Amino acid sequence: MTDAVPKGQSIAGRVLSGLVILFLLFDAGLKLVSPETAIKYSPPDLGWPLDVPTMTMLGTLLLIPTLLYIWPRTAILGAILITAYLGGAVATHVRIGSPLFSHILFGVYLGVMLWGGLWLRDSRLRAMIPFRAGASA
């Protein structure tokens, strides 16, 4: 059904995906288990209400797609939903004028790692998004 993924490529993809998954689970878990801590360390000028219901909602909206990303059958759907979540984070930081490389682009860095890890470990995604040297239009 799908082509075999070279072992080294699969390991690299799993490591990259694992790092993203750990970060996202930590972020979602903190918002769900200890929303007061998430509120305490959130910048006050983000424009979001810094209260328990908002943190719980954001934690849930991150946890569900992260769990979908972990399961191979739904990994692409999870990646799409996480990308949307990260887009909201980028837009929030652009709106308030956060520093570019450390805050605004952090969501982009995570997104590149998220999709890069999935691309390395999933031959179906590589078939849909091929990177070829010397390809002509």
* 51-94 confidence digits (pLDDT tens): 999 999 999 999 999 999 999 999 999 999 999 999 999 999 99
pLDDT at 1: 38
Position 137 in a domain: no
pLDDT at residue 137 tops 80: no
Mean pLDDT of all residues in the chain? 92
* Backbone Cα Rg of the chain: 17
Residue 2 domain-assigned? no
Residue 136: other Cβ atoms inside 10 A: 4
Question: Containing domain of residue 34, as a range?
Answer: 7-126
Asked, for residue 132, whether it belongs to a domain, the answer is no
- Alpha-carbon distance of 122 to 120, in angstroms, equals 6
Does residue 46 sit within a domain? yes
- Cα separation, 27 vs 22, in Å, equals 9
**Does the residue 30 lie in any domain?**
yes
Whether residue 53 lies inside any domain: the answer is yes
Q: Is residue 131 part of a domain?
A: no
- pLDDT band, very low/low/confident/very high, at 136 (cuts 50, 70, 90): low
How much of the chain, in percent, has pLDDT values that exceed 90? 80
Number of domains in the chain: 1
Q: What would the two tokens of residue 57 be?
A: 């909602």
Contact 16, 40 (CB under 8 A): no
Residue 107 lies in a domain: yes
